[in-house]
Amino acid sequence: MSVNKYLEGQVRESFEDWQEKFNDEFNLRLDIKIEFTITGTNLGGQACYSRNIIRFNPNWMNHNILVYLRTTVPHEIAHFAAKEKFNATGHGQEWKHVMRTMGLHPNRTNKDFSCVKIVHGRKMKMFGYVLPCGCKFEVSAVIHKRIQGVIRKRIQGGQNRICKSHKTRVLPEHFVEKTQ
């Protein structure tokens, strides 16, 4: 998807303002670059520490620019502030502290963008499972393949899938149908 130049300008301006606020509040010298290169995903932004870059998603910008400027832009800068101030990555207590100090809600995701994946994403093949505990759920093709190879992978240190409600292990024989 191409980037709307007006919205890109809005994000750049907001980004500069937020970066300055974070620098002032935490006595930092953040000098982060930005890109608009995330596409086709439910990821609104991404802090890339090794490259000193924050990547933004034009799909999300087009969906609701005002919310994007108030939430996603400072959310990603907060990752760099937490890394610089506390040497912490991810959405841990340090990141939450940075967000709260800036008067922001420390949310990992934003419900205002929940429909972006449906509107802009590609249609995924889904696979249905029914567990002995009665729970039914769908998984993507990648997770389905992991479940189908669970016995082989488990021996080699692979992943097991568990029903969170009943702690029942998901096995290949629980597969019932390809749903899409």
Local confidence pLDDT in tens for the 180 residues of the chain: 567 899 999 999 999 999 999 999 999 999 999 999 998 767 889 999 999 999 999 988 888 888 889 999 999 999 999 999 999 999 999 999 999 999 998 987 765 554 444 344 456 677 787 888 888 777 777 777 777 775 454 444 445 677 777 888 777 777 776 665
Type of residue found at 102: M
User: Would you identify the CATH topology of the domain 5-120?
Assistant: Zincin-like (3.30.2010)
For the chain, give every residue range classified as CATH 3.30.2010.10: 5-120
